[in-house]
Structure 1
Amino acid sequence: PVMVFLEDHKADTLRRVVDAVKGFDEKHGTEKTRFRLAGGNAGVMAATNEVVDEAQFPILIYVYVAVALLCFASYRSIKAVVCIVLPLALVSVLAHSLMHALEIGLKTSTLPVVALGVGEGVDYGIYLFSCFVAQRRKGLSFAEAMDAAMTQVGSAVVFTGLTLSVGVGTWAFSALQFQADMGILLMFMFLMNMVFAILLLPAIARLLFRS
């Protein structure tokens, strides 16, 4: 066996080593001699990273499809699905950007967190949109219905979002790096889902429900 000692186990380092081994095998390997990746901590982490990298987008797609189908079953409207799901999708993109900025690795333990943020954050949009639909059915105009929805549930959405954000935000002071990272990430997702539900959802609804 050939042993390789690495200065760190970051994803970029592991990827370079794996690519180098695979490239060497393609160039020098024969039918009788092949160079295979073995185990060890780095090998296991590299294999895990490959699996997670392949699974992250299918998992998000499954989550959003499930949310979209349930929203459609509730409101029977594609416009309603767009109003609720689009802000969630934008928050997911921002969450991945935050993970990159903070150098939070995508692992088996962090992969479900983004999906958790979607499942938790969809509540804000559903609260607001359901109240908006109820007011519209009473014959109110768009502006009147959205104003009534904001009056009735807007403060509850803000309070719930802030409460959850502050609660998980305290994890950022944990001595455990994983818990600290997840506290920051969840706080960001809960807070941004609340902000987008209050600010972005009404704007999208205004574009789609003009009549």
Structure 2
Amino acid sequence: MSFEIDVARRLGEVEVALSLVAGPGLTVLFGPSGVGKTSVLNMVAGLLRPDRGRIVVNGRVLFDAATRIDLSPEARRAGYVFQEPRLFPHRRVRGNLLYGASDEYGLAPVAAMLGIGHLLDRWPRTLSGGEARRVAIGRALLRDPAFLLLDEPLSSLDRARRDEIMAAIERVRDAAGLPILMVTHDPEEAERLATRIIRV
């Protein structure tokens, strides 16, 4: 099993709670904005501590309130792609991709898989929205993650860029061999990309 998540966290007047067990592939958390999908990703990543529950990925316990296990974000080895690419403006694409990577060994195959090899010497400010998203996905992959978290990776993109990123995510899903947890409120994205859909 890839993801075993049973968590709850009160945020103001709202309690965000989710329980799921999902096997390998790409699991989509699908639902309207504001129901706590991103908060669940942040709990899995270790950026937000649940009030109670348990998080297990690939058989490894990341959080367990009962036994007081709470691994740091670094120890969890999540590859997190946020809604915005968050590229470093002072680093070229190559430097962004290799930030946090242990070496350059995986750069060429990841760049080829995402179709960004020709962008390596470009500055982030010269990239289109779709190119920047692909670079952000590549940076997450090159950190040798145990799993991927994708938070609305197609938001604010036009149709052509959305198709480009969906194709890139399909390649990652099929080739990288990593469990992926993705948030979206778009039914087309969910139907095309998901191995399974969890309605939130």
Place the TM-score, normalised by the shorter chain, in its bin: under 0.3
Larger radius of gyration: 1
TM-score, with length taken from structure 1 = 0.25
The structure whose residues are more often helix, as a share, is 1
Q: Comparing both chains, which one has the higher relative contact order based on Cα–Cα distances under 8 Å and sequence gaps of 6 or more?
A: 2
